[in-house]
Amino acid sequence: MADKDLFLAAFRGEATERPPAWDQSVAPDVAAEVLGRPALAGTIVMHYLEAVASVRGDSAYQEFMAQTEEDRVAFARAMNWSAINYPWLRGRPARQLDEYTFLYGDEDGDWVTYRYDPAVGTYGPVAHSRPQGWQGEEAIRGQVDRAWRNVERWDEQSRPTLEERTKRWLALAGDEFEYVSGGGGMAVPLNEEWMIACAFVPDLVAEYLDAQVEAGLLGLEVMARLGVRVINGGGDLASKNGPLYGPRFFREIVCPRYQRVVDRCRELGLQYIFRSDGDLWSITDLLFTEEGANAPGFGEIDHDSGMKIPLLQERYRRLTCVGNVPCGLLRSGSEAEVRAFVRDLREQVLPHGRWIVAAANAVLPGTPAGNYAAMLEEAGVL
């Protein structure tokens, strides 16, 4: 079976001699160690590198994007992956404030500044144009209205970019890789204002999610028409202690909207991967059974928060699982420890199929390339 074919075989539940491999995000330093040259592959470090390239002008930005494409394909080929995906990027900032700080958005309206910390490789928000605490119902209503305006302008603002990107990455994937496209994602912002909104104005939160769903459905139509077969969706909603807004809110507000997305994917012949790390056991029946959203795939499976593929496979026989090898183990463990973990996982899950070998979330900066290769070798990929 060709490497590409292994990817969809996992969704069909076919037991194969080895699993397909793919990671949604790999740190540039790890890719560089594998390829023997500087490489742009993924993780949040790329957001800073994208910002640096962007402020240098259109030519530098286009070079950055072209190099990203080349490097992700080269890394996938070197690691014998079965799929590739467009990397998660933040987009172009409005301007640079200092060496490590960039402003995004409208300086005279809504904006946020991000700062890169070279010591730990993080790039996160440090200032906002509006307070992030509870500002009242009208403030939430304003954000809901903006979300609906984005839906109204979707054909003009988003469709051309999505079509161009999808065609380009499908061409890059060719007959060698399955192209996994981001899409159909949905999330309540995980900050104080929105967590309070979940309790005080749940109907407005529901409407905010409705706008996300409508935009997502428009995107799914485009991707299915162009030939995409796998969607990497979902949205972060949990910590190691469980869903941040509680199982009841998920059941009543969030789950019915995910069900609309997954149902439409099924109608379009798309396989949908729900993604969120953290402990999701309190809502997995809602996510992965016919009584709920019935998503066929699960990614960012957080072993360190108690989400273990053998337990998931025992409970949800038709669920395809992506990842589960702890990011911390890959980064800080020995090759022998990585091999032991993957060997045990492979023995338990490969006979059932429905497993795509990958890191639990991302291959983090500082991960030894030897550890990542050991993971794939022990799974039988390399």
Query: What pLDDT is attached to residue 70?
Result: 97
| Cα–Cα dist 382/374, whole Å | 9
Q: How many CB atoms lie within 10 A of CB 31?
A: 26
The pLDDT tens digits of the residues spanning 239-286 come to 999 999 889 999 999 999 999 999 999 999 999 999 999 999 999 999
pLDDT at 15 (0 to 100)? 85
CA separation for the pair 281, 286 (Å, rounded): 10
CATH class, 3-23+134-379 region: alpha beta
Buried (b) or exposed (e) across 46-85, using 16+ Cβ within 10 A? bbbbbbbbbeeeeeebeebbeebbebbbbbbeebebbbbb
Gap between the Cα atoms of 193 and 226, Å rounded: 38
Q: Which two tokens stand for residue 361?
A: 């979330």
pLDDT attached to residue 242: 94
Q: Are 83 and 168 in contact (CB under 8 A)?
A: no
Name the amino acid, one letter, at 32.
A
H helical segments located in the chain: 3-12, 28-35, 45-55, 58-78, 137-152, 154-157, 159-173, 192-200, 202-226, 247-249, 255-268, 284-288, 309-315, 327-332, 335-349, 369-379
Mean model confidence pLDDT for the chain = 96
* Selection from 304, 368, 372, 309 nearest residue 339 by Cα: 372
What is residue 246's predicted lDDT score, i.e. its pLDDT?
Answer: 86
Query: Could you tell me the residue ranges of all domains in the chain?
Result: 3-23+134-379, 26-80+83-132
Which among 174, 242, 181 is positioned nearest to 216, based on CA atoms?
181
pLDDT of residue 53 exceeding 90, the answer is yes
- Residue 153: which pLDDT band, with cuts at 50, 70 and 90? very high
Q: What is the pLDDT of residues 114-141, one digit of tens each?
A: 999 998 889 999 999 988 889 999 999 9
Four-point Cα dihedral 287, 291, 297, 301, nearest 10: 30
Half-sphere exposure of 113 (CA within 13 A, CB side): 15
pTM recorded for the entire structure: 0.96
Which residues have CB under 8 Å from 216's CB, separation 6+? 183, 184, 185, 186, 233, 261
pLDDT in tens, 351-382: 989 999 999 999 999 999 999 999 999 999 99
* C-alpha distances in Å from residue 365, one per residue of 31, 177, 314, 374: 10, 25, 33, 17
